[in-house]
Amino acid sequence: MTAPNDSEQLKRYAEDLNQTIRELKQANAKLRRQVEVEEQARVVQQKMIHLNKMTSLGTLAAGIAHEINTPISYILGNSQILEELWQDVERVLRETVDNPEKLVLAGIPFTDIREMIPKMLKNNVQGARQISTITSKLKDFTRQPPEKRGRTDINRALEYAVAILDKKIRKCTNHFHFKLSRQLPPAKGNIHEIEQVFINIILNALQALPDKTCEVSVSSAFAKKNNEIMVTIKDQGRGMEPAVLDRIMEPFFTTRENSDGTGLGMYIAYAIVEKTGGNLEISSKPGMGTEVTVCLPAEKIEA
Ligand SMILES: Nc1ncnc2c1ncn2[C@@H]1O[C@H](COP(=O)(O)OP(=O)(O)OP(=O)(O)O)[C@@H](O)[C@H]1O
Ligand SMILES: [Mg+2]
């Protein structure tokens, strides 16, 4: 008589156990969803912090550039006058001072001064010109053209950028591939600004190539699902270390300080793309090249 009762009880235990397992599974799924939501919130928060940092850095940089403009024009103008003036001063000293080789000014022998001053003045002019380039890049960028929204033909902007860079392209690579989709809807944004984005990114790709055998490819496509136009600029250049990749969009960040790099190219590209409502995706590995994808929202075409 005890056996049926036992089996009844066992059945109940089994049901209870199943119920507990179901509840645990539900709790587990809920927890997973919560973790996912928290992760998404963290990513959004990080993006906002980054955007905020970039915006304030950009405003600060543009403000400083504006203030620098006037003093830099004095330095440039005065240095050029001093260069001419020195040629006369040097000649007069040579001709009028007895034994100019023995002359010492500010503790420096005249023979050294004659070599030093032209070099110092030349460096001043070069430095001042470089600062001028930076400020005018920032000025161009902050002086917003009237907003011409919509109907921006991305392929036309790409063709323009490639035409502007034609000489540089031929100098840097024998393998430039240009593949445009003919099925693109118009994009949002200002065409002149979008052209600037492509010029800056293609130029970086070219500057990263170690020799002419390395490729650069530029292509456009339409991602219907996201209603986005995607432009990909891929190079077989030297690529980037993670530490460089992390900072690439900061204003004035450059690893080309010894060339003519100002560190504004990617910052300006980023700011324009963000403003247009798009985004920039970059992947790069040292020695493996770089791929930059510019995603721009397409303009909705009225049916
Ligand atoms: N395609 C690329 N391959 C390798 N490194 C790159 C690439 N694009 C950018 N970088 C790195 O990112 C840095 C910042 O790029 P950015 O275009 O902002 O400035 P820049 O090219 O140094 O100077 P500027 O564009 O103002 O003349 C570069 O100095 C370079 O180190
Ligand atoms: Mg650049």
d(CA 284, CA 15): 55
Q: Tell me the CATH number of domain 154-297, given options 3.10.129.10, 3.30.70.60, 3.40.50.620, 3.30.565.10.
A: 3.30.565.10
What pLDDT score was predicted for residue 129? 86
Distance from the CA of 254 to the center of ligand 1, in angstroms?
A: 6
Q: What is the mean pLDDT of residues 115-136?
A: 88
Partnered with residue 295 across adjacent β-strands are: 230, 279
Q: What is the largest CA-CA distance in the chain?
A: 136
Distance from the CA of 204 to the center of ligand 1, in angstroms?
A: 5
State both tokens at 144. Answer: 């917003």
Nearest ligand by distance to the CA of 290: 1
**Does 94 score more than 90 pLDDT?**
no
Q: Is 298 helix (H, G, I), strand (E, B) or coil?
A: strand
Q: Which helix (H) or strand (E) holds 24?
A: helix 2-96
What pLDDT score was predicted for residue 287? 95
What pLDDT score was predicted for residue 63? 78
What pLDDT score was predicted for residue 73? 86
Model confidence at 227, pLDDT cuts 50, 70, 90, reads very high
Q: Where are the alpha helices (DSSP H) in 97-109?
A: none
d(CA 295, CA 220): 10
Q: Is 220 exposed, middle or buried (0-12, 13-18, 19+ CB in 10 A)?
A: buried
What pLDDT score was predicted for residue 150? 58
Please tell me if the CB atom of residue 290 comes closer than 6 angstroms to any atom of ligand 1: yes
Domain positions in the chain: 1-143, 154-297
Nearest ligand by distance to the CA of 283: 1
Choose the residue to mutate in 204, 209, 241 for probing ligand 1, maximizing ligand atoms within 8 Å of C-beta: 204
**Does 264 score more than 60 pLDDT?**
yes
**Does 302 score more than 60 pLDDT?**
no
When mean pLDDT is compared over 59-73, 216-230, 254-268, the highest value belongs to 216-230
Q: Which residue has its alpha carbon closest to ligand 1 atom 31? A: 255
Q: Backbone dihedral region of 287: left (phi > 0), alpha (psi from -120 to 50 degrees) or beta?
A: left
Model confidence at 265, pLDDT cuts 50, 70, 90, reads very high
Please tell me if the CB atom of residue 244 comes closer than 6 angstroms to any atom of ligand 1: yes
pTM listed for this prediction:
0.69
What pLDDT score was predicted for residue 148? 55
Q: Which residue has its alpha carbon closest to ligand 1 atom 30? A: 255
How high does pLDDT run on average in the chain? 88
d(CA 185, CA 198): 18
Q: What is the mean pLDDT of residues 203-222?
A: 97
pLDDT tens digits, 64-78: 877 888 888 888 889
What pLDDT score was predicted for residue 149? 58
Q: How many residues does the chain have?
A: 303
Nearest ligand by distance to the CA of 262: 1
Q: What is the mean pLDDT of residues 41-53?
A: 76
What pLDDT score was predicted for residue 108? 92
Q: Which percentage of the chain shows pLDDT scores above 70?
A: 94
What pLDDT score was predicted for residue 136? 79
* Of the candidate ranges 55-64, 144-153, 276-285, the one whose mean pLDDT is the lowest: 144-153
pLDDT tens digits, 105-121: 899 999 999 999 999 99
Please tell me if the CB atom of residue 173 comes closer than 6 angstroms to any atom of ligand 1: no
**Does 280 score more than 80 pLDDT?**
yes
Please tell me if the CB atom of residue 250 comes closer than 6 angstroms to any atom of ligand 1: no
* Of the candidate ranges 23-27, 40-44, 105-109, 115-119, the one whose mean pLDDT is the lowest: 40-44
Choose the residue to mutate in 266, 270, 284, 293 for probing ligand 1, maximizing ligand atoms within 8 Å of C-beta: 266
d(CA 283, CA 113): 51
Please tell me if the CB atom of residue 264 comes closer than 6 angstroms to any atom of ligand 1: yes
Please tell me if the CB atom of residue 189 comes closer than 6 angstroms to any atom of ligand 1: no
Distance from the CA of 240 to the center of ligand 2, in angstroms?
A: 13
Please tell me if the CB atom of residue 251 comes closer than 6 angstroms to any atom of ligand 1: no
Choose the residue to mutate in 209, 238, 256 for probing ligand 1, maximizing ligand atoms within 8 Å of C-beta: 256
